[in-house]
Amino acid sequence: MTIGQITVRNVSKRFRLERNRPSSLKEALLRTGRRDIDDFWVLRNVDFEIEPGSFFGLIGHNGSGKSTLLRLIANIHRPTSGQITTEGRMSALLELGSGFHPDLTGRENVYLNGAMLGLSRRHMNDAMDKIIDFSGIGDFIDEPVKIYSSGMYVRLGFAVSVSVDPEILLVDEVIAVGDEAFQHRCMDHMNLLREKGCTIVLVSHNAALMGDLCDTIAWLDHGRMLELGDPAPVLEKYLDHMRGGGTTLTTRD
């Protein structure tokens, strides 16, 4: 496998929704056998490959499973069946302040995030000024991140993710939180990373944005992949579909 490649092989993900799930041992012991378990398949048999250096988009309605797929690629959850392999240093921006510990200061969180990506303290020291500068956090870098505004959270998160030289970058719409100026800088930076050969996976339901950025788009609907290919035709079908009333029942079994 080459650096930056992502392979998703026949992946399904089931979440168990347990009603009245026992939360203590006593309950668990007293109620043997009578557990209401609802299986909910978020993804079913999703299978594709992302080429190194490409800009890959995942599009779909709310609850289509696109964010879950991204979390599986990020190794946060384990697929119920199938296999996902990634090669290269991966940085993920999945939600507001992902990877930040609320009680630690911005600076400590930068070190923690670096450590989670396998980067030494020395490397993070070198990158620190760049991160503070890019995020525009200023003196707040030494305050606990729990007092940050949502904009500051996301700016610092983005600054860290891009400054660690990722070979794979996973982004889940979070950039939409920043203001216009910041969004522009994010776009510029993602383009810069792409020129360096970084694989980028972006999740969004903003078709216009996806059309501008992506090389390839996958369209997920109710956990299944309906289309995969060049942005223009996939987005056209997707938009037609959304205009035509949103959800299909045909794909559900």
Partner 1 sequence: MLKLSPAAQKSANLVYHFAQRETKSRYKRSLLGWFWSFVNPLTTVAVYSFVFGVVYRASPPATENGNAENFGFFLFSGLITWNLFTSIVNGCMGWLQSVSDLRKKVYFPTETALLGGAASNALQTSLEAFVLVAIMAALSNLSWTVVFLLVALLCTIAFGLGVGFVVAIMNARYRDIFYLVGVLLNVGFFLVPVVYPVSFVPEQKWGLPIRALVEWNPPALFVGIARDGVYFLEVPTLGHLAAASAWATLTLTVGWTYFRARSMDISEEP
Query: Residues interacting with partner 1, by CB under 8 A?
Result: 15, 21-26, 28, 74-78, 92, 94-95, 97-101, 104, 108, 111-121
CB atoms within 10 A of CB 241: 17
Give me the least distance between CB of 239 and partner 1, in Å please: 31
Is the CB of 75 or the CB of 191 nearer to partner 1?
Answer: 75
The residues with which 105 forms a beta bridge, in sequence order, are 144
Give me the least distance between CB of 186 and partner 1, in Å please: 19
Give me the least distance between CB of 116 and partner 1, in Å please: 4
Give me the least distance between CB of 226 and partner 1, in Å please: 26
Angle at 167 between CA 125 and CA 3, to 5 degrees: 135
Is the CB of 172 or the CB of 221 nearer to partner 1?
Answer: 172
CA pair distance 142, 145, nearest whole angstrom:
9
Is the CB of 99 or the CB of 136 nearer to partner 1?
Answer: 99
Is the CB of 119 or the CB of 226 nearer to partner 1?
Answer: 119
CB atoms within 10 A of CB 14: 15
Is the CB of 22 or the CB of 136 nearer to partner 1?
Answer: 22
Q: Please, what's the b/e burial string for 47-75 (b: 16 or more CB within 10 A of its CB; e: otherwise)?
A: ebebebbbbbbbbbbeebbbbbbbbbbbe
Q: Kindly list the distances between the CA atom of residue 219 and the CA atoms of 115, 141, 161, 181, 187, in Å, as whole numbers in the listed order.
A: 34, 39, 26, 29, 22
Give me the least distance between CB of 1 and partner 1, in Å please: 15
Is the CB of 17 or the CB of 208 nearer to partner 1?
Answer: 17
Give me the least distance between CB of 66 and partner 1, in Å please: 17
Q: In 3-state terms, what secondary structure has residue 3?
A: coil
CB atoms within 10 A of CB 154: 24
Judge whether 63 and 224 are in contact, CB under 8 Å.
no
